[in-house]
A and B are shown apart, each in its own frame.
Chain A
Amino acid sequence: DIVMTQSPDSLAVSLGERATINCKSSQSVLYSSNNLNYLAWYQQKPGRPPKLLIYWASTRESGVPDRFSGSGSGTDFTLTISSLQAEDVAVYYCQQYYSTPRTFGQGTKLEIK
């Protein structure tokens, strides 16, 4: 199984400031034949199902604000929120879909400082 490790486990950021969440996979999720990273980011608010934010490591899902961006390749990835808004308080998960089981990171809880 590919193990996904996020850091930090929790994060407090001031409104309007940048938030950065890291995700590391135990093996590369870059598929050489198409040069795509099989890595997604989800946002989950309390009592709600996860919501897809980013796929292919850096492609923003339709309707997701452009303050959310994803970067990285191979085994190291980052989700950045450029200017934190109150509605961004949530738990964020990365997931690899390179192979089964399609494992998730343990989650990063983002709060307002």
Chain B
Amino acid sequence: QVQLQESGPGLVKPSGTLSLTCAVSGGSISSSYWWTWVRQPPGKGLEWIGEIYHSGFTNYNPSLKSRITISVDKSKNQFSLKLSSVTAADTAVYYCARDASGTYFLGYWGQGTLVTVSS
């Protein structure tokens, strides 16, 4: 059973870069799945950030595209999110997730990590 665990700073300064990692256990990051980031501002709904295939092919949300980078580190069996030029609007719980069977719907989720943007 694959498990996902997010990690990274819980506090980022405005205009800085948010960097999160999702460690994958119970499965290989090199398997044919989509690895995804989703975020949820406090008390609000879910926002799809972007996804990366094991080959490195990415899809990003156009609303964030100029600021985000998602990458895979096969040597560490993990994938990462970088979001630059953050503002208070980027404060959210960030989830990493994996599709259930190579077809985009998200069957496996991390527990989520709260990132607050504040000086």
Among the listed B46, B97, B107, B111, which residue makes an inter-chain contact with A61, where contact means beta carbons less than 8 Å apart?
A: B107
Q: Quick check: A97 and B105 within 8 Å, CB to CB?
A: yes
B48 contacts A104, CB within 8 Å?
yes
Q: Is A106's CB within 8 Å of the partner chain B?
A: yes
If A1-B62, A100-B59 touch, whether A93 touches B46 (CB-CB below 8 Å) is yes
**Alpha-carbon gap, A51 to B45, bound state (A):** 14
CA distance A102 to B109 in the complex (A): 16
Chain A positions within 8 Å of B100 at CB level = 52, 55, 61
Instruction: Give the number of residue pairs across the A-B interface with Cβ within 8 Å.
Output: 63
Give the number of chain A interface residues (Cβ < 8 Å): 23
Q: Are A52 and B107 in contact (CB under 8 A)?
A: yes
Known contacts A61-B100, A95-B105; A103 and B45 CB within 8 A of each other: no
Tell me the complex Cα distance, A61–B87, Å.
37
What's the Cα separation between A36 and B51 when bound, in Å?
Answer: 22
Measured CA separation A49–B93 after assembly (Å): 10
Residues of A near B95 (CB, < 8 A) are 49-50
Q: Does A40 contact B (CB under 8 A)?
A: yes
Q: How far apart are the CA atoms of A52 and B99 in the complex, in Å? A: 10
Partner of A104, one of B45, B51, B60, B107: B45
Q: In the complex, what distance in Å separates the CA atom of A95 from the CA atom of B103?
A: 13
Q: Does residue B28 face the partner (Cβ distance < 8 Å to A)?
A: no
**How many Å from the CB of A104 to the closest CB on chain B?**
4
Interface residues in chain A, defined as those with a beta carbon under 8 Å from any beta carbon in chain B: 1, 38, 40, 42, 44, 48-52, 55, 61, 93, 95, 97, 100-107
Can you list 29 A-B pairs with a CB-CB distance of less than 8 A? A1-B62, A40-B105, A40-B106, A42-B46, A42-B106, A44-B46, A49-B110, A50-B109, A52-B100, A52-B106, A52-B107, A55-B100, A61-B100, A61-B107, A93-B45, A93-B46, A95-B105, A100-B51, A100-B59, A100-B60, A101-B59, A101-B62, A101-B63, A102-B36, A102-B51, A102-B104, A104-B45, A104-B46, A107-B46
Interface residues of B (CB under 8 A from A): 36, 38, 45-48, 50-51, 59-63, 95, 97, 100, 103-107, 109-112
